């Protein structure tokens, strides 16, 4: 059996030494021999075929966890698995095409001649669910502020409530002067201080996903695994990114989205409002609002048990925000209600402005 150094093997199979070391750690492509004194890896020439297969599948964009499955299969089942993966890629490409169109529309400059006046119609609902003894979620919808917070630890309920209460200072008819993102960032800083005043131990804290309405835009703040979705033109887009261990593993290709749903650490947060400064940095974004947009903020009590297609169906078919939040909570409870569930639904509605000066002159 011929042996190759890791450098020679990497050159032959067109995988970098760094990739080979990662695949060794993941038990995807183990070296044939490791020198006990130096730790240097050696590969058999017979392993080149598997290495090339891994390289080809990576060029397809297949996650490492799924490549491991393909490599363990016989040729027939492996071909079926690759075919199934590619069908999923094509379906996702269609979804990404819709997302690209949404982003182009999102960043396109707004016409100064547009006279549409926008306002929000909203509803919020929080439910204990069918398993938990108490509700540690907080949901709020007001004239300017929409928020969902999911507390954790012994002081989770007061922590989520304190975070949302701190944001309510912005729920007024006229916003203070200044950048809306700066205003929201200052309010979140106040929310963080409020949580720290309540937190009894390091394990106390809360997620926070909230939006601030300016009259034409929505400023978004997000930390943790609560989520924000946008329904626009019939398409559902998630506009937040989970700050969790499993999401980081998905991002790195170590885990598939399907495997993440059953991962034992799926609820482990990387970021949240806590006493730890290193974990308390939120994401901030600004979104242009269009008439007909519908926003959903929810805790993971909804998103972890109700699939996105079901969420999309409810949001698309239930026109009233109050009825929509009730329907979403019902879906979560019918799926077992294992966690507290909170939802905020807000519709952007518009009406043509009239020139009152002209009317008065008449």
Nearest to 124 by CA among 149, 146, 156: 146
Higher local confidence (pLDDT), 91 or 3: 3
Report in angstroms the alpha-carbon separations of 36 from 7, 32, 45, 68: 18, 13, 21, 26
Give me the pLDDT at residue 89, please: 79
Please check whether the domain covering 1-59 is classified as CATH 1.10.1660.10: yes
Angle at 197 between CA 191 and CA 198, to 5 degrees: 95
**CA dist list (Å): 157 to 69, 164, 185, 359:** 42, 11, 22, 52
Percent of the chain with pLDDT over 90: 43
Cα–Cα distance, 158 to 240 (Å, whole number): 24
Rounded to an integer, the average pLDDT of 126-145 is: 96
Reported as a pLDDT band with limits 50, 70 and 90, residue 317 is: very high
pLDDT of residue 353: 39
Res. 99 pLDDT band, cuts 50 70 90:
low
3-state secondary structure of 318: coil
Burial of 348 (C-beta count, 10 Å sphere; 0-12/13-18/19+): buried
Tell me the C-alpha distance between 312 and 307, whole Å. Answer: 9
In angstroms, the CA 289 to CA 214 distance is 10
- Provide the percentage of residues in the chain whose pLDDT is more than 70: 88
Superfamily of domain 112-352: PPM-type phosphatase domain (3.60.40.10)
Strands 33-34 and 341-352: unpaired
Triad 193, 240, 222: Cα angle to 5°: 5
For residues 30, 34, 39, 43, the Cα torsion angle rounded to the nearest 10 degrees is -60
Q: Where are the domains of the chain?
A: 1-59, 64-108, 112-352
> Per-residue pLDDT for 339 more than 90?
yes
Handedness of CA 169, 175, 181, 186 (dihedral sign): negative
Indicate yes or no: pTM above 0.85. no
Q: Could you tell me the pLDDT band of residue 346, with boundaries at 50, 70 and 90? A: very high
The pLDDT of residue 86:
86
Phi and psi angles of residue 260, each rounded to the nearest 5 degrees, phi first: -65, -30
280-297 tens-digit pLDDT: 889 998 888 999 999 999
Q: Please tell me the predicted confidence (pLDDT) of residue 126.
A: 98
Across 195-302, where does the E strand assignment appear? Answer: 205-206, 208-213, 217-223, 227-232, 235-238, 283-288, 294-298
Contact 281, 208 (CB under 8 A): no
Count of C-beta atoms within a 10 Å radius of residue 343? 30
Across 154-174, average pLDDT: 89
Q: Where are the alpha helices (DSSP H) in the chain?
A: 6-13, 17-25, 48-59, 64-71, 75-107, 156-167, 180-198, 245-251, 257-260, 300-303, 308-317, 321-334, 356-361
Let me know the angle formed at the C-alpha of 305 by 150 and 251, rounded to the nearest 5 degrees: 80
List, in order, residues 6 or more apart from 153 with CB less than 8 Å away.
159, 199, 200, 201, 203, 204, 205
For residue 139, pLDDT beyond 70:
yes
> At residue 160, what are phi and psi to the nearest 5 degrees?
-65, -40
- Mean pLDDT of all residues in 164-180: 79
Q: Say if residue 113's pLDDT is above 60.
A: no
Predicted confidence band at 350 (pLDDT cuts at 50, 70, 90)? confident
- Report the 10 Å Cβ neighbour count for 116: 14
Mean pLDDT to the nearest integer, 66-82: 88
Residue pLDDT, tens place only, 29-71: 889 889 888 888 999 888 888 888 888 888 888 888 888 889 8
pLDDT at 222 over 90: yes
pLDDT at 320: 97
pLDDT at 151: 95
Interatomic CA distance for residues 24 and 32, integer angstroms: 11
């Amino acid at each position: 059996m011929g042996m190759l150094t890791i450098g020679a093997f990497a050159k032959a199979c067109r995988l970098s030494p760094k990739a080979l070391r990662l695949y060794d750690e993941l038990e995807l492509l183990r070296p044939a021999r490791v020198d006990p004194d130096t730790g240097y890896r050696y590969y058999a020439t017979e392993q080149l075929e598997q290495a090339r297969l891994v390289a080809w599948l990576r060029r397809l964009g297949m996650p490492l966890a799924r490549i491991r499955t393909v490599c363990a299969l016989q040729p027939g089942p492996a071909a079926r698995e690759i075919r199934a993966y590619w069908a999923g890629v094509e379906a996702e490409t269609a979804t990404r095409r819709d997302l690209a169109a949404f982003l182009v529309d999102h960043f396109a400059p707004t016409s100064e001649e547009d006279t549409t006046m926008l306002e929000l119609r909203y509803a919020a609902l929080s439910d204990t669910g069918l398993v938990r003894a108490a509700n540690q979620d907080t949901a709020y919808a007001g004239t300017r502020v929409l928020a969902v917070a999911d507390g954790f630890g012994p002081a989770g309920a007061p922590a989520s409530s304190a975070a949302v209460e701190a944001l309510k200072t912005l729920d007024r008819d006229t916003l203070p002067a200044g950048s809306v993102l700066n205003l929201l960032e200052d309010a979140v800083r106040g929310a963080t201080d409020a949580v720290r005043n309540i937190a009894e131990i390091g394990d106390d804290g809360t997620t926070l996903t909230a939006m601030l309405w300016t009259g034409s835009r929505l400023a978004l703040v997000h930390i943790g695994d609560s989520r924000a979705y946008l329904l626009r033109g019939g398409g559902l887009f998630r506009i937040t990114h989970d700050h969790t261990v499993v999401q980081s593993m998905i991002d790195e290709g170590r885990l598939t989205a399907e495997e993440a749903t059953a991962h034992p650490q799926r609820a482990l947060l990387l970021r949240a409002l806590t006493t730890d400064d290193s974990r308390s940095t939120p994401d901030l974004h600004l979104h242009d609002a269009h008439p007909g947009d519908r926003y959903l903020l929810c805790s993971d009590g909804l998103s972890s048990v109700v699939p996105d297609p079901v969420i999309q169906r409810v949001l698309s078919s239930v026109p009233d925000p109050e009825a929509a939040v009730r329907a979403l909570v019902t879906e979560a409870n019918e799926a077992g209600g294992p966690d507290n569930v909170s939802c905020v639904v807000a519709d952007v509605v518009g009406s043509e402005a009239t020139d009152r000066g002209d009317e008065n002159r008449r």
